[in-house]
Amino acid sequence: MTSSQPLPDISIDSSSLEALVRQTIGTESFAELSDLLPVLVRDLADVDWRVEQALGSQYSQLTEAARYACSTGGKRVRPLLMATMARALGATTTQPFLSLAAAFQLIHTASLVHDDVIDRADLRRGRPSMLRAYGTALAIVTGDYLFVRAFELAAEYPRSIILRRGDACAQLVEGEVLQESGLFDLAAGREHYLHVVERKTASIVAAGLASGAELSGAPESTVDAAATYGRSLGISFQIRDDLLDVYGDPDLLGKPQYADFRDGNPTLVAIETYARLDAKRQAEFERLFQLRRKRARHLIRMRELADAAGVREAIAMESETWAERAIRALEPIPAGPYRLLLERLARGSAQRRF
């Protein structure tokens, strides 16, 4: 079934979207924009249906694994952003965008599955990761399957959109390679970190929003603005995510705390902690960071050194700075409630607690 055909009647769970919007933009902003909820609930339900249609395989185990991956693979922020951007650009229906939004959601989910295999993660949003639920082999194959289905979904769109999506996927892989090359190396620095984040996280968001804008018939300047918004928001989101790894509530996050410290991943928290400490404590932090097997006391001490360096407020501010860049990029987008929601989503990315 193509995205131009009518969709079947499906049940809509508005509570899940309401929770998503509340946690990203806050209760006050949610109340201000609550009139948008029914439209966006329907948009996301339609994307969910399109994803579900793409997951079927003649092998029931693979279908089950793919569905499990999608059930643990994030909060549907990317489809929400794409639907909101399409509405902001004047779309009266998101039906032409459904396969595109579903494709980008599947790409994101596939990357999470492979990340959990690489990181040997036990949990994904409070549930066993694909690795723990299905084993290494099926987790890897399921991630591959989701990528293939994503490319099939996007095949109906113009060549420029297909190429943009392919480039974003290539950047995602490059980001993983870059991240691996810098593990346990605090000298990698801020530039290396931002290159990783732009490729692993921001490239997919930027490509999805730019593709949606192009499909809307927007001029090139607006397509570029949508990409800039998505890229800046993605960086803001990841900086905040890395901060929450150290300072967040693991029960809310649904994953263990200090994963980046444990794995020797030089996020901005580690880089800024190292740069701000005096020579003696800098050497201690570096020694702990480079340990391949860290105990709880090592991780707690690294957190204490991060506290002493005062990085929490500085990194929170950096995430907010990127969110403001995203908001400034929205200038070519017509003013209205959907653009306002895009602004609130950007600010929410820098203020979320999980």
Kindly tell me if the per-residue pLDDT of 166 is higher than 50.
yes
> Average pLDDT of the chain?
91
The b/e string for 307-344 (b: 16+ C-beta within 10 A; e otherwise) is eebebbeebbebbbebbebbbebbebbeeeebbbbbbb
Confidence of residue 314 (pLDDT cuts 50, 70, 90): very high
Do you know the residue count of the chain? 354
Lowest-confidence segment of 33-42, 129-138, 210-219, 292-301 by average pLDDT: 33-42
* Amino acid occupying residue 158: P
Tell me the average pLDDT across 17-23: 65
What is the Cα–Cα distance from 48 to 70, expressed in whole angstroms?
10
What is the Cα–Cα distance from 300 to 306, expressed in whole angstroms?
10
Query: Encoding tokens for residue 228?
Result: 């800039």
What is the Cα–Cα distance from 94 to 42, expressed in whole angstroms?
10
The b/e string for 87-96 (b: 16+ C-beta within 10 A; e otherwise) is bbbebeebbb
Confidence of residue 153 (pLDDT cuts 50, 70, 90): very high
Query: Encoding tokens for residue 132?
Result: 């723990």
Q: Is 90 left (phi over 0), alpha (psi -120 to 50) or beta?
A: left
Confidence of residue 235 (pLDDT cuts 50, 70, 90): very high
User: How far is Cα of residue 96 from the mean position of the Cα atoms in its chain?
Assistant: 23
Query: Encoding tokens for residue 25?
Result: 């933009």
Q: Which of 3-12, 35-44, 187-196 has the highest mean pLDDT?
A: 187-196
Tell me the average pLDDT across 171-185: 96
Q: Which residues pair with 123 in a beta bridge?
A: 128
pTM, two decimal places:
0.92
Tell me the average pLDDT across 95-118: 94
* Amino acid occupying residue 293: R
pLDDT of residue 10: 41
pLDDT of residue 252: 82
Residues 241, 351: contact at Cβ < 8 Å? no
Contact partners, residue 100, CB within 8 Å, separation at least 6: 3, 82, 153, 154, 157, 161, 208, 211, 212, 215
* Distances, alpha carbon 60 to alpha carbons 48, 66, 68, 102, 283, in Å: 20, 10, 12, 21, 53
pLDDT of residue 41: 85
Kindly tell me if the per-residue pLDDT of 5 is higher than 60.
no
pLDDT of residue 73: 55
CATH (residue range 14-349): 1.10.600.10
Instruction: Return the beta strands (E) in the chain as ranges.
Output: 123-124, 127-128
* Distances, alpha carbon 315 to alpha carbons 76, 234, 271, 298, 303, in Å: 25, 15, 11, 22, 14
Contact partners, residue 126, CB within 8 Å, separation at least 6: 254, 255
Contact partners, residue 51, CB within 8 Å, separation at least 6: 70, 102, 105, 106
Which own/partner contact pairs does 256-260 have at CB distance under 8 Å and 24+ positions apart? 256/122, 256/123, 257/299, 258/299, 258/302, 258/303, 259/119, 259/121
